[in-house]
Amino acid sequence: MANHKSALKRIRSNETRRIRNKYQYKTTRNAIRDLREMTVKADAEPKLKEITSMLDKIAKNNIIHNNKAANLKSKLTKFVASLK
């Protein structure tokens, strides 16, 4: 067990951040899954813009690596471009 007040606070804050990070990442993954199931380009384009923003935010906060965010954005953009 922690011996200092600051260590106890760190444990609490780490848990709060862990839960928040997990929520943001899971929400983004679900949005990506929904986008990949779309078949109409007109519906997918606004969703792509929203997902791109989500990926940028979680990459900025080091929830995922910047390169992973870039790779996902690239693949999703190609997918949306291939829709009719």
Domain ranges of the chain: 42-84
Burial 12-28 (b: 16+ CB within 10 A, else e): eeeeeeeeeeeebeeeb
Contacts of residue 51, Cβ cutoff 8 Å, sequence gap at least 6: 28, 31, 32, 35, 76
| Banded pLDDT at 2 (limits 50, 70, 90) | confident
pTM, rounded to two decimals: 0.87
Residue for token digits 């007040």?
Answer: 5
| Banded pLDDT at 1 (limits 50, 70, 90) | confident
d(CA 22, CA 2) in angstroms, rounded, equals 24
* Residue pLDDT, tens place only, 28-72: 999 999 999 999 999 999 999 999 999 999 999 999 999 999 999
